[in-house]
Structure 1
């Protein structure tokens, strides 16, 4: 109990101790220089009136400083406690927001899947599948952020691995076996950057799984993420048939690659296509 009180009022106690020490040192100096009698007389018995005034003033100054410092410490501790409570409330609110967004998008995804069961047209089914994968990419971001202890950033490599695994399950059927290889480095991004990165990765992985290999053919898709001095680079490569020689990313009219170009501009990134031994599309984000 005594230790707790001292810890709480440590500055006041130290100031009081400092005042006593100064009182004692002042008596020592006077005794050594001026006073011919005993030290005990000068310390408390025969102290000159002006010395009493000086010592009491010094003592009161120390005590006053201790009281002021203790009050400032108490005020700062109270403000820090209030600030920590505000941060905790904000984190709880953000967690709830991400949780609600995830749940609402999950409801939309469930509605899309229900609608898909009642559709027979193959083009409509393909469109609904694309909508489903895009929704799933966004849901996965909010799910990962919700499960973290902080909300300012998230691990892009962890997210892309989960996204790639989920996408691959949609296309490994009818005798196909596409292997997804990860070559990832740790990269931290903000949630604002994670959404376009996830959608870009989803579109490129979907294109590779759908168009790089013939029906029933197996192959390998490599998902790379590397930290570079100015940002990071994300690549989706395959060992399939590749794009035609005359193909250009800038001239592509497909909705998927149009979306990729738009999202890359949103990230202030650049797109590059390597079309040897399959295809490889790289997004450099600075």
Structure 2
């Protein structure tokens, strides 16, 4: 063999082989670039989704706390207003006042203290403070003395135990409507710690509460950079105090950490200045860190796959791989164009097969992450929609119940002979309605109330409210809507009142039987006693009694029928359809 020709052929083969391997490596690298771009784009997009989710989470949590605060305020308002109407307070009976206040404080540990002052702000009766203590400089006391029906004061350190608290007050009026004193309650701010602990928030998140002037009155978890009783950071307060009732922002806090902030301003009633501001802060890094970590991990995985593919390509460059490379390139192109379900489907135990499996695994991982992102977005959308629906439902129910209470008060006011009767009748009716709401928020469902549980609870309330009264319940479990359950509660309450008035037996005792059962899509409510019963000439439709008129109106509202008879006492039977 000619030596020069042999060397020439050898060099040509070597150059050709070397160029082919480089070309193959270049093809593999180019094929992986779109996937790399998709990983980076997906990581950035995932970070954006996380950021939106963190913002939405902060807003949800602050709205939840706002609802809790409004509920607390309404509860305190209801408690104080109810106490202020009791004869013990309107008639200035200090002994009874003290017993009542101690009992209320014992049953409601969230209160630091409940106090009665005279019109000069001096304590006359208190569950814990000594009489004679001067509270005249307290803002909520002064405004209640000035005639405001319900006031929320300024942040205070309670004299009882030096605990951070927030005060509320209502005026006490005598029977002529003159202000004779003030009834105030001090609510523990530490209660919010338990609410915050129940939230699933990242580390370095916090709950803050300020008063109307931007003074920090609560901060959890506690930090030396955010002391209680000091103003919050000026640029943050500038946004919160700008006039908007709620909002979000990204700011650097007093501790130097950047956070997503969501705030909500709380008012005692529409048209008044906010007395409280609730702020939730979630670290900005909590949204960016997971996305950055996943992006780096995916880039490392991508780098491993790329290196592996190139090494394998360098060893198999001499093999005919044109069709397989074209199939692999097409798969990567499909992935780049958004078709994440694309696969190579090269089932073989070779180097090309390993590369194709790596590409398929990458595509599967991308598809899974894309599907997970879509699922997370759907869950977020559903959660927002559900919250809005629940808020609309709560507002609708509260509006309807308040309108019903106002109507009952108006009717009772026209028919009651004295304030004590008026107060007692209204109290029983509102308590019947409040039992429905109490059962509703204690249950897992906001849509239905179980009638057996409700009637049993109503019988217990009736037994506590009246002397020498025994109420027995025989009822089946049957869910009713909130509106229908409230109507049945008012009907039952009116019939219990009627039996208490007129259904005493010869021993002066009242025995009431309540029966409730369902048959053929209709419910039957039977209430009977062992009294003298109805007169033979009694016609409920011609009765001028407010209670009977209210019963007939309520029965008509639910499309029911009423039957009145005597059987060893009065028997009232109400038949109504289950569905509205």
Q: 1:191-226: CA deviations, max 9, x gaps?
A: 211221111000011111211225752242111121
How many angstroms does 1:68 deviate by?
A: 5.5
SS in 2 for 1:64: coil
Matched, 1:161 2:456: yes
Structure with bigger strand share is: 2
Q: 1:134 aligns with which of 411, 425, 429?
A: 429
**1:95·1:146 contact (CA, 8 Å) conserved in 2?**
no
Q: 1:225 aligns with which of 498, 501, 516?
A: 516
**1:98·1:146 contact (CA, 8 Å) conserved in 2?**
no
Q: 2:373 aligns with which of 74, 77, 91?
A: 74
**TM-score between both structures, scaled by the size of structure 2:** 0.34
SS in 1 for 2:540: coil
2: CA distance, partners of 1:167 / 1:187: 21
SS in 2 for 1:250: helix
Structure 1 partner of 2:340: 64
Query: After superposition, where does 1:1-286 map in structure 2 within 5 Å?
Result: 46-47=319-320, 49-50=322-323, 52-54=325-327, 57=330, 64-65=340-341, 66=364, 67=366, 70-84=369-383, 87=386, 123-124=417-418, 125-172=420-467, 177-213=468-504, 216-286=507-577
Larger RCO, structures 1/2 (Cα 8 Å, 6+ apart): 1
2: CA distance, partners of 1:243 / 1:44: 106
Q: 1:28-59: CA deviations, max 9, x gaps?
A: xxxxxxxxxxxxxxx99744634543465467
Instruction: Flag the 1:148–1:100 CA change in 2: closer, same or farther, 3 A.
Output: farther
How many angstroms does 1:159 deviate by?
A: 2.1
**1:225·1:233 contact (CA, 8 Å) conserved in 2?**
yes
**2:435·2:458 contact (CA, 8 Å) conserved in 1?**
yes
1: CA distance, partners of 2:318 / 2:370: 35
2: CA distance, partners of 1:59 / 1:240: 88
Gaps of 5+ in 2: 1-293, 295-315, 342-363, 406-415
How many angstroms does 1:128 deviate by?
A: 3.7
Of 238-247 and 259-268, more deviation after overlay is shown by 238-247
Structure 2 partner of 1:4: none
2: CA distance, partners of 1:50 / 1:95: 65
Of 75-84 and 196-205, more deviation after overlay is shown by 75-84
1: CA distance, partners of 2:526 / 2:317: 84
2: CA distance, partners of 1:70 / 1:44: 34
How many angstroms does 1:181 deviate by?
A: 0.9
How many angstroms does 1:78 deviate by?
A: 2.3
SS in 1 for 2:445: coil
Q: 1:149-200: CA deviations, max 9, x gaps?
A: 432222232222222222233332xxxx332111011121222112211110
1: CA distance, partners of 2:371 / 2:499: 63
How many angstroms does 1:266 deviate by?
A: 0.9
How many angstroms does 1:139 deviate by?
A: 2.4
Instruction: Flag the 1:232–1:259 CA change in 2: closer, same or farther, 3 A.
Output: same
Instruction: Flag the 1:95–1:52 CA change in 2: closer, same or farther, 3 A.
Output: same
1: CA distance, partners of 2:323 / 2:536: 102
Q: 1:64-103: CA deviations, max 9, x gaps?
A: 325456424412222203433553576589779989999x
**1:235·1:282 contact (CA, 8 Å) conserved in 2?**
yes
**1:242·1:277 contact (CA, 8 Å) conserved in 2?**
yes
